[in-house]
Structures are given as structure tokens and as C-alpha cells.
Amino acid sequence: MQSVRIETVETFVVAMPLVAVFSSGGKSKNVTKGVVVKITASDGSYGISSVDPSTRAVFPDRAEDIAATVREKITPAVLGTSPTNINRLSDIMGSLQDIQIGARAAVEMAVIELTCRRLGISLCDFLGGAVSDHVAFNGWVGELPADEAALDAARWAKAGFQSLKIKVGGDVDADIQRVQAVRAAVGDAMNLRMDANEQYSVQDAIRLCDAIKDCDMQLFEQPVPRDDLTGLAKIRRVGGISVMADESISDHASLLKVIEADCADLVKFGIAQAGGIMPAVRMMATAEAAGLKVVMGHGFGLDMSTMAEIMVGASSSNILTGLECVGPLKVKDTVSQTHLDISSGSLKVPDGAGLAMDLDMEKLAEYTVQ
């Protein structure tokens, strides 16, 4: 393969309207912001990516901050280097000071996508191949009154979803009613998860577990604040429901802390949380070695980051069925040429080069903000 070098790194902050107002962890929003990166090499080949900061992101981890880091710090360091030497590029970014993990992920994803395009293989093939031809997705029910939550859950089941996350954490009594109503609405066939987004005390989390012990919950996600691994461990021991760490996982080191604390049965992270595709793969291997299943994904995301997590998730047999990369269901539009349709709850893993999608430059211009 001929020697090539990185010629341009283009960075865009995209503000994508949501189909409704979404609330999570006590925060609400009707627009999600992400960062899109396009890297072009000297032979004209290119790769694309996107990363999507958390709803609760503050400086220096907002979309605007990540884009500024890519433009001002990473781009000068990687221009002229080989886009296909992923290890060397990761080392370069690792040597820079004050680089957000999301900024590293955005650039690493784009150069891997570029490499896959040049090789004519999908990201799944780059990672060793998909272990299944199809992936399933996890629906969600917000912190709604019990009757509304039941109707929402029934719609997910009718659409074809086989697993569902219920948001909890605001009020224990209302949460109990919501979980019980959803289980009654969907019957025994659907796997149910619940997510408190760090909002509970240990005492309230255990009270909830006791009250819904007959609801056959698949897992309880992040009931207490991320740093309270002792509290997480107690809920796991006493609550009787498998505990999943999410916000407690921010990188490989934090994953090791969770494993050492023996405080979780499962862990959840996305590519941006891990710092890129290859770090995510390494974290998945660590979790598997520790006997922990992985839930892949993040709640709000553009099509590119979603497809990357689909392909990373499809490449491992240690991923819990029901990916949580469901951002395309929450947004009104896309900056991709084709909208990623996961509305039936499942998707055939595509086999096109890279992410098997491309940017719609007119849509990208429409939704890019300064």
C-alpha cells in the first residue's frame, strides 16, 4: 500500500434537534450536540467519525471544547503523519497535554474508518469480523407516570424490541409504580433494565429492589454516584438484582477499579468513554477476563458514532444483547446520506467499507453551529 499522509482534519460542531424533550439524570434537553470529524489523506482517501458528549457535560468536555481541542492541539500534531498507523497516532495524541478522551476518540475513529475504506473492509472486519449477522437494540421509558410508562413500553414491544430500560431515581414510590406498570404491560417476554443515573442513596436503591423483586429485572444501572463503589457493592450484595456500572466507567483505569471493588455484575461504556475503538476493544477484553458482560452504547448519538458502536458490539460475543446506542431514534434528522433505521429493534450488520455510510455535506452545513 502506497505511503500516504494526513493532509486535512475538518471538525464540525453539530446541533441536532431531538424528536422530543428528553430527561435523564435530572437534566432535560431538546437538542443534542456532537462533534463530526473528517480526515483526508494525500491520496484523496478519507475517514469520518462523530462523538457525542453527555447531557451533563460541562467545560472542558462539551462538544465545543472537544472540537477546539481537535482543531488547536491534535490537528497540528498529526498533520503529515500516516493515517493508517493507528498505534503511532494514538501515541502522538497520548503525549499531548490536556486532551479530552472524546477528542482522542473522534480522531482515532476517523483514521480507522479511513484505513478501512482504503482496505475495502468494514469496521467489523477490521476488528476480526462480526460474531452475529444481526444486532438488537434496547428501548427506553423515561421518568413518566406509571400509566404513561405502560403505554410507552407497549409501543416498544409492538415495534419489535425485546429489551427495555426504565428511567428511575426521582422518587422511590413513583419509580416502584412505574416499574411494576411496565412489567404488567409487556408481560414476561421482554427483558427490563432500570437506570438511576447516580440519583439514589444506597438505602433508597435497596428499598426499590425489595419492592420490585417480583418484576424479574435484568439489571440495575448506576443507582448511586460514580465514586461510591462501596455503596454500589452493597446494593449488589443486598438488592438481589444484577448491578451495572456506567458513570463509574470513564476509562480503562476506572474499569479496573470497578473490577477490584467487586461492585458490578456488568459494565457499560461507549467508544468515546473508552477513548476510541481500540481502547474500547481492550476494555471489552478486560471485562470478559473478569467475568463481566458489557453493555455497549450511549443514549444520544449521531449515525456515525452509533454505527461504530454497532460494529464494535457486533464483533464480540461478550456483549449483552440489546445495544444502547439508540441515538438515531431520538433525533429529527441526520448528517449522513442515509438515515440509520433501528426502529424495529434490530439491524443487519452492514458489510460496506468502514462504517458503510457517508456524510451529507448539505445536511452537515445545515446543522453545524459556530
Q: What string of DSSP letters covers 284-306? A: HHHHHHTT-EEEE--SS--HHHH
Q: How far apart are the first and last CA of the chain?
A: 38
From the list 60, 67, 73, 58, the residue with the least C-alpha distance to 15 is 67
Name residue, grid cell 427495555: 164
- Would you state the torsion angle of the CA atoms of residues 316, 320, 321, 326, taken in this order, to the nearest 10 degrees? -90
Task: Specify the pLDDT at position 166.
Answer: 98
The residue ranges of DSSP E strands in the chain, in sequence order, are 6-24, 27-41, 46-51, 134-136, 139-141, 163-167, 191-195, 217-221, 243-245, 266-269, 293-296, 346-348, 368-369
Q: Helix, strand or coil for residue 100?
A: coil
202: number of Cβ within 10 Å: 18
* Cα–Cα distance, 38 to 46 (Å, whole number): 7
From the list 345, 333, 272, the residue with the least C-alpha distance to 303 is 333
DSSP state for residue 334 in the 8-state scheme: -
Task: Specify the pLDDT at position 117.
Answer: 98
The residues facing 12 across adjacent strands are 36
Answer yes or no: are the C-beta atoms of 61 and 53 closer than 8 Å.
yes
Q: Helix, strand or coil for residue 363?
A: helix
Q: What domains does the chain contain, in order, with CATH numbers?
A: 6-121+362-369 (3.30.390.10), 125-359 (3.20.20.120)
Give the pLDDT confidence of 182-237 residue by residue, as tens digits: 999 999 989 999 999 999 999 999 999 999 999 999 999 999 999 999 999 999 99
Task: Specify the pLDDT at position 1.
Answer: 47
DSSP state for residue 201 in the 8-state scheme: -
From the list 189, 267, 194, the residue with the least C-alpha distance to 229 is 267
Q: Strand 27-41's sheet: what is its strand order?
A: 46-51, 27-41, 6-24, 368-369
Sign, CA torsion 89/91/94/95: negative
CA atoms within 13 A on the CB side of 370: 0
* Cα–Cα distance, 117 to 40 (Å, whole number): 12
Which phi and psi angles does 331 have, rounded to 5°? -105, 155
* Cα–Cα distance, 63 to 367 (Å, whole number): 13
Please report, for residues 58, 77, 153, 293, the alpha-carbon distance to residue 179 in angstroms, rounded to integers and kept in the order given.
31, 50, 10, 23
Radius of gyration of the chain (CA): 20
> And the C-alpha cell for 133?
449477522
**Secondary structure string (H, E, C) spanning 166-181:** EECCCCHHHHHHHHHH
- Would you state the torsion angle of the CA atoms of residues 360, 4, 70, 13, taken in this order, to the nearest 10 degrees? 0
Task: Specify the pLDDT at position 56.
Answer: 76
Question: Could you give the maximum distance between any two Cα atoms of the chain, in Å?
Answer: 64
Q: Name the helix (H) or strand (E) containing 256.
A: helix 252-261
* Cα–Cα distance, 272 to 280 (Å, whole number): 8
From the list 303, 294, 243, 242, the residue with the least C-alpha distance to 273 is 294
CA atoms within 13 A on the CB side of 69: 22
Task: Specify the pLDDT at position 26.
Answer: 60
180: number of Cβ within 10 Å: 17
One digit per residue, the tens of pLDDT, for the chain of length 370 reads 458 999 999 999 999 999 988 766 566 778 999 999 999 999 999 999 999 997 778 889 999 999 999 999 999 999 999 999 999 999 999 999 999 999 999 999 999 999 999 999 999 999 999 999 999 999 999 999 999 999 999 999 999 999 999 999 999 999 999 999 999 999 998 999 999 999 999 999 999 999 999 999 999 999 999 999 999 999 999 999 999 999 999 999 999 999 999 999 999 999 999 999 999 999 999 999 999 999 999 888 999 999 999 999 999 999 999 999 999 999 999 999 988 999 999 999 999 999 999 999 999 999 999 8
